[in-house]
């Protein structure tokens, strides 16, 4: 599928319309609603090889069809189209309940980062593999002793000729066992004047001697992340992003992509979109005291509260397009999105369990579990987003300091 | 129930927001707000004249009646700034009275009154009754046919800005059916109005005794439209209140943040304490969510069904957000927060006022349940 003749920023509405129709038809035909096993709701829940292979193939297929990276430059492997094209493709995915894109860390933060501050060579080398899911990426920021206090990361990187030698450990590495590359925050100078200035940022290969990943079991009983050990692991020095000592700034930029503060992501979604309306259907089909839960006034009120919240979040997202409505705190909504959405997702899943009466006690695998236990699993997994990517408490700090202008200390 | 309202923002809205922001900030500094709270009339007539000169009263009035031909959506950014700076005056009342005439007036009434309102004549509504009911069709006041016209009886409450108004539109039962009648303020008997003591001291509200008032038959609005008009007024009032509430919420957050950035205890700026920081963020995100809903409600206001849903959602969220932000503002000012001098009380009182008029969060949620959760 080729779509030439569209210059970035200049969209031919007819062509866009046609593209949207094709995308719609393509996803209608190609989404497999039941692969015969449970698919992950988010990129942080890829726990079996079966899930991994399926999602890798799926991403590759979507990319090959032209519906992923449609707005990334064609010289690196993207579609070279305007963002509007990718947006309609992503919409089609949503409409047809397509599975998630697997290579989240590549698609959503490494890719945009490389095109933002990387070299031509970085982009040529990595972008295509990110889009095709051939090269899975992971993120090595958190350490056992340094999580929220990321600036205190201690994994050592020592320059030796054309290489850096790594020693230390990262933890909670999503897809660490599958990844070919890691974006890595490491300490190059332990004697720097402050903890931030001693950090550097690397694109590090994972399948090399001295790198070992050990899967960690999640609260759901499934797998999805690893502890990653580095023992005299040697990585090429040309993987350094920015200069030595600039790692903190690069990491912050990465986190902004991660939290969706900036655009430029490849498209698709890496967390299944939350369908707040599904809770209504649930309330309609479940019973309480012999009547649909939906008829219980207390539950109805709670449902309405959730619907108001869902609608308000959707509108806050749409507000980005209306500059005059964001004049006084231009980054306020962008910086608040992660906190608002992830906390909402956690609470609505939690609420869905309470609708189920005794059946709220079942879990995934039991034949009697409501909706296969998805709500309970969803609730437990929702913490991945309220903890990962900077906890909700840290998000509060960030908004307080960067949007509301309150002092750090 | 897929469409709960879309977001939209017109150029006219953006322009009006800019002008209103400057105007309200300049015309309503806190010192003046405080002075007007002590004033009997409660607003500055010169400022009102300037607002009329800016054309604000004509915004939502069709061109056929000498208005600007825009909609209620364009009043929203103005109300928002008024709520933000506590700019006092009968703008809310007059805008609603114009809507009542527009939807429920006879052609003759529209031609007579709308151009005057567009030019700055003040009008208001008398809808509430002793029951405290938010249902505007729960009416006990009466009108009965006499040789002179319609004799009115009963009592109305929360008649905003009645002293400043030239006309009052009151709801009554005529032949046991809801009706609206237009009363010239000059025709009121002495002592028909009693100033009410209300929680929000920046506003003026009155009880109105209808007993002894007779209006000509021509003062009756179109009876066939009475219920539609009341429903429209209910939504419109909620939309405009929500705008005021969003403005107020924005300002109470900013007011509180100023204090958190300057006050020191234990050698630290108190704003560095997470016990104050995190709730401030919650107040802020609650405000932004209310504001997004507000502008979606404004944009969708004329859409059958969606307009009602969007408006009720907006008011429900604005109530929650304003109450929370202002409640925390009192607490976060410590002892000073307990004083009359601290502005936190103004906002908290304002939030209580808005919740009390035309329905609070729980009331709108109940209505929404029936709208969006059919069994
Ligand atoms: C599912 C999942 C996937 C993840 N994937 C990755 C990944 O791929 N790569 C990666 O590098 N990391 C990953 N993480 C790690 C994640 O970024 C960290 O867990 C997170 O930043 C918190 O760090 P921590 O676990 O050390 O908790 P801590 O920092 O020890 O926090 C413990 C508690 O203290 C609170 N707290 C800490 N500091 C403050 C403060 N200043 N103010 C207020 N409260 C505070 C926290 O909010 C939390 O509630 C993942 C985490 C999860 C759950």
**C-alpha span between B302 and A1 (Å, rounded):** 43
A176 lines ligand 1 (CB under 6 A): no
pLDDT in tens, B199-237: 999 999 999 999 999 999 999 999 999 999 999 999 999
What tokens does A95 get? 């409409």
pLDDT in tens, B116-147: 999 999 999 999 999 999 999 999 999 999 99
The helix/strand/coil state of A208 is coil
Residue with CA closest to ligand 1 atom 50: A388
| CB proximity under 8 Å: B 292-351 to A | 292-293, 295-296, 313, 316-317
Task: Indicate the pLDDT class of residue A8, thresholds 50, 70 and 90.
Answer: very low
Please identify, among B191, B225, B259, the residue that sits at the C-terminal boundary of a domain. B225
Residue A2: the pLDDT is 32
Residue A258: the pLDDT is 86
Establish whether A258 is a catalytic residue.
Answer: yes
Residue B211 domain boundaries: 124-225
Which residue has 């969606």 as its token pair?
Answer: B306
Nearest CA in chain B to A403: B281
pLDDT in tens, B166-180: 999 999 999 999 999
Which residue has 């009331």 as its token pair?
Answer: B363
- Put simply, the answer to whether A308 touches B362 (Cβ < 8 Å) is no
Q: Where are the beta strands (DSSP E) in chain B?
A: 123-126, 142-146, 149-153, 155-160, 167-174, 177-184, 193-195, 205-209, 214-215, 264-265, 268-269
Q: What percent of chain A has pLDDT over 90?
A: 91
Beta-ladder partners of B169? B125, B182
Sheet holding B205-209, edge to edge: B155-160, B205-209, B193-195
Residue B1: the pLDDT is 54
With a cut of 50, say whether residue A128 has pLDDT above it: yes
Residue A5: the pLDDT is 36
- Put simply, the answer to whether A340 touches B289 (Cβ < 8 Å) is yes
Averaged pLDDT, A245-254 = 96
A403 lines ligand 1 (CB under 6 A): no
* CB of A280 less than 8 A from some CB of B: yes
A398 lines ligand 1 (CB under 6 A): no
- For residues B108 and B143, membership in a common domain is answered with no
CATH 2.40.110.10 intervals, chain A:
138-260
- For residues B260 and B364, membership in a common domain is answered with yes
- B141: CATH: 2.40.110.10
pLDDT in tens, B334-343: 999 999 999 9
Q: Parallel, antiparallel, or unpaired for β B264-265 and B268-269?
A: antiparallel
Which residue has 């209300």 as its token pair?
Answer: B198
Determine contact, residues B85/B222, Cβ cutoff 8 Å: no
Exposed / middle / buried, residue B36 (Cβ in 10 Å: 0-12, 13-18, 19+): buried
- For residues B251 and B336, membership in a common domain is answered with yes
- For residues B302 and B248, membership in a common domain is answered with yes
Averaged pLDDT, A222-236 = 97
Residue of B292, B366, B371 best to disrupt the A interface, most CBs of A under 10 A: B292
Residue with CA closest to ligand 1 atom 30: A147
pLDDT in tens, B14-26: 999 999 999 999 9
Q: How far apart are the first and last CA of chain B?
A: 13
> Which position among A18, A244, A258, A393 bears the catalytic label?
A258
User: For residue B257, which residues of chain A lie inside 8 Å, CB to CB?
Assistant: 404-406
Whole-model pTM: value is: 0.94
A397 lines ligand 1 (CB under 6 A): yes
CATH 1.20.140.10 intervals, chain A:
276-402
Name the CATH code of domain A276-402 (choices 1.10.287.3510, 3.20.20.30, 1.20.140.10, 3.90.180.10).
1.20.140.10
Of the residues A169, A199, A387, A389, which should be mutated to test ligand 1's pocket, given the most ligand atoms within 8 Å of the CB? Answer: A387
**C-alpha span between A364 and A380 (Å, rounded):** 12
Q: Which DSSP string do the residues of A78-130 spell out, in sequence order?
A: S----HHHHHHHHHHHHHTTPPPPS-HIIIIIIHHHHHHHS-HHHHHHHHHHH
With a cut of 60, say whether residue B238 has pLDDT above it: yes
- For residues B231 and B368, membership in a common domain is answered with yes
Determine contact, residues B185/B162, Cβ cutoff 8 Å: yes
Q: Parallel, antiparallel, or unpaired for β B214-215 and B149-153?
A: antiparallel
Residue A10: the pLDDT is 72
Count how many domains chain B has. 3
Which residues have a Cβ under 8 Å from the Cβ of A76 and sit 6 or more positions away? A115, A123, A124, A127, A128
- For residues B150 and B257, membership in a common domain is answered with no
Q: Give chain A's mean pLDDT.
A: 94
**C-alpha span between B64 and A265 (Å, rounded):** 51
| Phi, psi values for residue A232, rounded to 5° | 50, 40
Residue A3: the pLDDT is 39
What ligand 1 atom has the least distance to the C-alpha of A141? 11
- For residues B198 and B160, membership in a common domain is answered with yes
Residue B24: the pLDDT is 98
Please identify, among B203, B225, B247, the residue that sits at the C-terminal boundary of a domain. B225
Residue B2: the pLDDT is 64
**C-alpha span between B82 and A215 (Å, rounded):** 58
Among partner residues B5, B9, B281, which is closest to A404 by beta-carbon distance? B281
* CB of B154 less than 8 A from some CB of A: no
Determine contact, residues A23/A67, Cβ cutoff 8 Å: yes
Task: Indicate the pLDDT class of residue A33, thresholds 50, 70 and 90.
Answer: confident
Of the residues A42, A146, A391, which should be mutated to test ligand 1's pocket, given the most ligand atoms within 8 Å of the CB? Answer: A391
Q: Taking the CA of residue A325 as centre, how many other CA atoms within 13 Å lie in the half-sphere pointing to its CB?
A: 29
Task: Indicate the pLDDT class of residue A30, thresholds 50, 70 and 90.
Answer: very high
With a cut of 90, say whether residue A256 has pLDDT above it: no
Residue A275: the pLDDT is 82
Averaged pLDDT, B86-90 = 98
Q: How far apart are the first and last CA of chain A?
A: 55
- Put simply, the answer to whether A307 touches B14 (Cβ < 8 Å) is no
**C-alpha span between B300 and B289 (Å, rounded):** 16
Smallest Cα distance from B135 to chain A, Å = 19
Exposed / middle / buried, residue B148 (Cβ in 10 Å: 0-12, 13-18, 19+): exposed
Q: What percent of chain B has pLDDT over 90?
A: 98
Determine contact, residues A217/A253, Cβ cutoff 8 Å: no
CA proximity to A363, closest of A374, A373, A353, A371: A373
- For residues B253 and B355, membership in a common domain is answered with yes
- For residues B235 and B348, membership in a common domain is answered with yes
Asked whether residue B1 is assigned to any structural domain, the reply reads no
- Put simply, the answer to whether B7 touches A406 (Cβ < 8 Å) is no
CA proximity to A371, closest of A353, A350, A389, A345: A353
- B44: CATH: 1.10.540.10
Beta-ladder partners of B179? B172
The helix/strand/coil state of B62 is coil
Residue B272: the pLDDT is 98
- For residues B259 and B172, membership in a common domain is answered with no
**C-alpha span between B81 and B27 (Å, rounded):** 11
CA proximity to B62, closest of B22, B18, B90, B101: B101
- Put simply, the answer to whether A315 touches B7 (Cβ < 8 Å) is yes
A139 lines ligand 1 (CB under 6 A): yes
User: For residue A283, which residues of chain B lie inside 8 Å, CB to CB?
Assistant: 373
CA proximity to B358, closest of B96, B83, B101, B64: B96
* CB of B76 less than 8 A from some CB of A: no
What tokens does A10 get? 């200049």
Please identify, among B121, B155, B189, the residue that sits at the C-terminal boundary of a domain. B121
DSSP 8-state class, residue A370: G
pLDDT in tens, A74-91: 999 999 999 999 999 999
**C-alpha span between B271 and A231 (Å, rounded):** 44
pLDDT in tens, A38-60: 999 899 999 999 999 999 999 99
pLDDT in tens, B291-319: 999 999 999 999 999 999 999 999 999 99
Residue A263: the pLDDT is 82
| Phi, psi values for residue A257, rounded to 5° | -65, -45
Asked whether residue B2 is assigned to any structural domain, the reply reads no
With a cut of 80, say whether residue A148 has pLDDT above it: yes
Chain A to chain B Cβ contacts (< 8 Å):
127
Task: Indicate the pLDDT class of residue B66, thresholds 50, 70 and 90.
Answer: very high
| Phi, psi values for residue A359, rounded to 5° | -70, -15
What tokens does B72 get? 């209620």
A148 lines ligand 1 (CB under 6 A): yes
pLDDT in tens, A156-200: 999 999 999 999 999 999 999 999 999 999 999 999 999 999 999
Q: Give chain B's mean pLDDT.
A: 97
| CB proximity under 8 Å: A 316-345 to B | 316, 318-319, 321-322, 324-325, 328, 332-333, 336, 339-340
Asked whether residue B320 is assigned to any structural domain, the reply reads yes
Determine contact, residues A222/A377, Cβ cutoff 8 Å: no
With a cut of 90, say whether residue A307 has pLDDT above it: yes
Residue A264: the pLDDT is 85
- For residues B364 and B235, membership in a common domain is answered with yes
| CATH superfamily label, A138-260 | Butyryl-CoA Dehydrogenase, subunit A, domain 2 (2.40.110.10)
User: For residue A336, which residues of chain B lie inside 8 Å, CB to CB?
Assistant: 281, 284-285, 288
Determine contact, residues A320/A336, Cβ cutoff 8 Å: no
The rounded Cα A17 to chain-centroid distance in angstroms is 28
A145 lines ligand 1 (CB under 6 A): no
A364 lines ligand 1 (CB under 6 A): no
- B292: CATH: 1.20.140.10
**C-alpha span between B241 and B91 (Å, rounded):** 11
**C-alpha span between B346 and B330 (Å, rounded):** 10
DSSP 8-state class, residue A206: S
- For residues B180 and B261, membership in a common domain is answered with no
Smallest Cα distance from A97 to chain B, Å = 16
What is the ipTM score, two decimals? 0.96
Averaged pLDDT, A220-246 = 96
Among partner residues A295, A304, A407, which is closest to B261 by beta-carbon distance? A407
């Amino acid at each position: 599928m080729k779509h030439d003749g569209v210059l970035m920023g200049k969209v031919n509405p007819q062509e866009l319309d046609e593209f949207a129709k094709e995308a719609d038809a393509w996803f209608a035909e190609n989404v497999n609603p039941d692969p015969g096993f449970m698919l992950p709701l988010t990129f942080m829940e890829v726990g079996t090889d079966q899930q991994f292979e399926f999602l890798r193939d799926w991403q590759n297929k979507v990319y090959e069809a032209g519906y992923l990276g449609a707005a990334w430059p064609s010289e690196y492997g993207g579609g070279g189209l305007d963002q509007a094209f990718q947006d309609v493709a992503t919409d089609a995915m949503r409409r047809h309940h397509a599975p998630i894109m697997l290579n989240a860390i590549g698609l959503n933060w490494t890719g945009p980062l490389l095109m933002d501050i990387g070299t031509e060579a970085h982009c040529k080398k990595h972008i295509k593999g990110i889009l095709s899911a051939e090269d899975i990426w992971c993120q090595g920021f958190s350490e056992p002793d340094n999580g929220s206090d990321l600036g205190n990361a201690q994994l050592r990187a020592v320059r030796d000729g054309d290489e850096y030698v790594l020693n230390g450990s990262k933890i909670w590495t999503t897809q660490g066992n599958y990844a070919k590359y890691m974006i890595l925050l490491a300490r190059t100078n332990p004697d720097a004047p402050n903890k931030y200035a001693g950090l550097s940022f690397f694109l590090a290969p994972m399948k090399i001697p001295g790198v070992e990943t050990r899967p960690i079991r999640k609260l759901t009983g499934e797998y999805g992340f690893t502890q990653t050990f580095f023992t005299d692991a040697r990585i090429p020095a040309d993987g350094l992003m920015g200069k030595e000592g600039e790692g903190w700034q690069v990491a912050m930029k990465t986190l902004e992509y991660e939290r969706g503060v900036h655009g430029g992501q490849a498209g698709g979604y890496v967390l299944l979109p939350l369908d707040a309306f599904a809770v209504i259907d649930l309330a309609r089909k479940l019973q309480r005291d012999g009547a649909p839960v939906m008829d219980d006034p207390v539950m109805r009120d709670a449902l309405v509260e959730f619907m108001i919240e869902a609608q308000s979040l959707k509108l806050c997202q749409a507000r980005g397009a209306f500059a005059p409505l964001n004049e006084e705190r231009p980054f306020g909504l962008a910086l608040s999105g992660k906190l608002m959405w992830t906390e909402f997702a956690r609470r609505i899943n939690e609420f869905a369990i309470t609708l189920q009466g005794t059946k709220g006690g079942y879990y995934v695998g039991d034949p009697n579990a409501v909706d296969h236990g998805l709500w309970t699993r969803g609730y437990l997994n929702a913490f991945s987003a309220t903890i990962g990517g900077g906890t909700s408490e840290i998000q509060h700090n960030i908004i307080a300091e960067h949007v509301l202008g309150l002092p750090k200390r | 129930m897929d469409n709960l309202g879309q977001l939209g923002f017109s150029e006219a809205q953006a322009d009006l927001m800019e002008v209103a922001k400057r105007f309200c900030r300049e015309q309503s500094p806190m010192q003046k707000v405080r002075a007007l709270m002590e004033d009997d009339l409660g607003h500055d007539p010169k400022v009102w004249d300037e607002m009329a000169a800016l054309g604000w009263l004509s915004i939502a009035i069709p061109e056929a009646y000498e208005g600007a031909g825009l909609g209620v959506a364009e009043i929203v950014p103005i109300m928002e700034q008024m709520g933000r700076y506590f700019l006092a005056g009968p703008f809310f009342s007059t805008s609603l009275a114009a809507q009542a005439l527009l939807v429920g007036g006879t052609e003759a009434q529209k031609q007579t009154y709308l151009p005057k309102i567009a030019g700055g004549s003040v009008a208001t509504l008398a809808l509430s009754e002793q029951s405290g009911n938010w249902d505007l069709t729960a009416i006990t006041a009466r009108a009965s046919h006499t040789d002179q016209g319609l004799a009115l009886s009963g009592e109305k409450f929360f008649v905003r800005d009645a002293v400043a108004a030239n006309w009052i539109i009151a709801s009554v039962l005529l032949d046991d059916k809801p009706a609206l009648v237009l009363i010239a303020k000059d025709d009121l008997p002495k002592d028909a109005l009693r100033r009410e003591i209300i929680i929000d001291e920046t506003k003026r509200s009155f009880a109105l005794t209808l007993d002894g008032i007779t209006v000509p038959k021509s003062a009756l609005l179109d009876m066939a439209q009475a219920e539609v008009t009341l429903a429209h007024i209910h939504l419109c009032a909620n939309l405009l209140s929500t705008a005021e509430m969003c403005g107020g919420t924005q300002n109470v957050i900013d007011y509180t943040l100023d204090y958190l950035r300057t006050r020191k205890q234990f050698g630290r700026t108190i704003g560095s304490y997470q016990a104050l920081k995190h709730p401030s963020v919650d107040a802020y995100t609650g405000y932004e969510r209310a504001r997004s809903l507000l502008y979606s409600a404004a944009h969708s206001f004329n859409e059958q069904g969606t307009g009602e849903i969007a408006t009720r959602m907006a008011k429900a969220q604005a109530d929650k957000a304003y109450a929370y932000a202002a409640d925390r503002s009192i607490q976060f000012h410590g002892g000073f927060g307990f004083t009359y001098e601290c502005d936190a009380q103004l906002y908290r009182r304002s939030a209580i006022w808005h919740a009390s008029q035309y329905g609070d969060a729980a009331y709108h949620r109940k209505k929404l349940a029936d709208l969006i959760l059919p069994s």
